[in-house]
A and B are shown apart, each in its own frame.
Chain A
Amino acid sequence: MFLNFSILVRYNFNKERIMVKSKICCTSQDRISQKTSPKWYCCTIETPGGMVPKISTNLTLSDYLGSAMARSSINRKHYHIRPGLYATGNPDKNSFVFVTANYKLTFDHLRKNMKGIDGWILVLDTEGINVWCAAGKGTFGTEELVKQVEQTGIKEIVSHRKLILPQLGAPGVAAHEVKKKTGFTVIYGPVRAADIPLFLTNELQSSGKMREVSFHVLDRLILTPIELAGTLKYCVLLFIFFIIYSWILAGNASFSQVLAKAFHSFLPFLGAVLTGTVIVPVILPFIPGKAFALKGWIGGIIWAAIYLFVIRNTFAWIVIVPYGLLLPALSAFLAMNFTGATSYTSLSGVLHEMKYALPFILVSAGAGISFFIVIAVIQNLV
């Protein structure tokens, strides 16, 4: 699921990609070499616990493109930040300590919202994974937090004993255990980093809205290309299959005729894929039912009807039956996979849904495919 909540990050990431700024925070004398360190790193400040790197709260073009970290990142997908303590502004012993994950986008999101705030940022080693996901896995967890608190010397640097954690880290961190082991009180801050300034003026209280994850049309729309991309490989394979199939049966037709024929065969499936990965997720709340598979199936039935009765203009049962079995099953399956992208599904709920939907989908799709094969064999033999 759980990009689930990093959709929030991604959403903001996209939105703010447009506003690009390029600034460095410090004077040239303490600026460190550009070659070896990322642009957001400004300088170091001296503390009773040792030197702490200071970071910029402005995101630069390279942050957005990820190029600075991409070079030093361990794998292509995740930009890692070195775990440890960082400073924003000019923090002192009374400044707040914010805890975050070492996923570059999460980190960027936090520091950008730290503009004008003198604070400490404690980065945990979550293996380059966002807070919510890492909390589920336990890497954003009690143990790692305790370890970083000990290692960074934060006890010498601040005189208070409070840590502000993103609320979505709570599944991994037991506040009472952190207190027992380190003496620090964990305060869960808002779900969205953008609410941090308000959280601070509210004297470290999150209002109800700040605590809840929401999921809107825009969030769903932003996720659909990801869903679609996941099916791309299979779409290409299917299309190639149809090209080969049409070509074998083509006799002496030209290549463009083969291609056109293959596309005609491919079109209904493409429609079912788009229905399951884009259309159904976007209009999710407006389709009746709770089960994602059911919503996908309804969408698939509508698409099958459009394809058969409008595009193909056919009423022959020999065409209607196999498409009617296969296309909605395909849309249902893809829509069911969208469960992980929303913020309101539970493991038990998905298991409940799968228990009924999966056999139905498999039988329906299997029957549809068998039907196609039988028809193809008969047609080509006769």
Chain B
Amino acid sequence: MKQRYFKNVVTLQYNKDNCTGCGMCVEVCPRGVFAMNGKKAIINDRNACIECGACMKNCAFNAISVRPGVGCAYAIIMGRLKGTEPGCGCGDSSSACCG
């Protein structure tokens, strides 16, 4: 069962005009958000997006933009308190946010 978070909140933007149909976004997305429709990519499952940024980073044609970040309340709160960017929390917390 594929779980999804809120609807229509993610910052994912896709510009079809720039797309060359290379298929990279389909390959890198860990959530199956993109699919190929003939020679163009399409957003197939927008609400599954976790804003990891992999698609944007690997689209060589600037067809995708998204604000990448971590979906972790703990990291966001700690980031606000410490005045830093919310990061993984890796290395400084026992929270499950961290690997």
Is A150 an interface residue when CB atoms closer than 8 A count as contact? no
- Do residues B90 and A341 form an inter-chain contact, with CB atoms below 8 A? no
Q: Of residues 44 to 67 in B, which have CB atoms within 8 Å of A's CB atoms?
A: 48-54, 57-58, 60, 67
Rounded to whole Å, the gap between the CB of A35 and the closest CB of chain B is 29
Tell yes or no: B73 within 8 A of A by CB: yes
For B, the interface residue count at a CB cutoff of 8 angstroms equals 50
Which residue numbers of B lie inside 8 Å of A, CB to CB?
A: 1-6, 9-11, 24, 27-32, 48-54, 57-58, 60, 67-77, 86-91, 93-99
Nearest CB in chain B to that of A222: its residue: B96
Contact A173 B96 (CB under 8 A): no
Query: Is A86 an interface position by the 8 A CB rule?
Result: no
For the complex, give the distance between the alpha carbons of A103 and B11 in Å: 31
Q: How many A-B residue pairs have CB under 8 A?
A: 192
Chain B residues, Cβ within 8 Å of A136:
52-53, 68, 70, 87-88
On chain B, the residues within 8 Å of A129 by CB distance are 88, 90-91, 99
Interface residues on A, range: 35 or more
Shortest CB-to-CB span from B60 to chain A, Å, is: 4
The answer to whether residues A344 and B48 also contact, given A349-B9, A353-B73, A354-B76 and a CB cut-off of 8 A, is yes
CB pairs A–B below 8 angstroms (25 shown): A1-B72, A3-B96, A3-B97, A3-B98, A103-B99, A129-B88, A130-B99, A136-B52, A137-B87, A167-B54, A171-B53, A172-B57, A174-B58, A339-B71, A340-B72, A340-B95, A341-B72, A341-B96, A345-B5, A345-B50, A345-B71, A346-B5, A347-B68, A350-B72, A350-B73
Interface residues of chain A, those whose CB is within 8 Å of chain B, are 1-7, 9, 75, 77-78, 103, 127-130, 132-133, 135-137, 167-168, 170-176, 188, 191, 206, 208, 211-213, 215, 223, 226-227, 229-230, 285, 290-292, 336-354
Complex contacts, A2 vs chain B, CB 8 Å: 70, 72, 88, 90, 97-99
Chain B residues contacting A229 (CB-CB under 8 Å) are: 94
Distance between Cα atoms of A340 and B79 in the complex (Å): 13
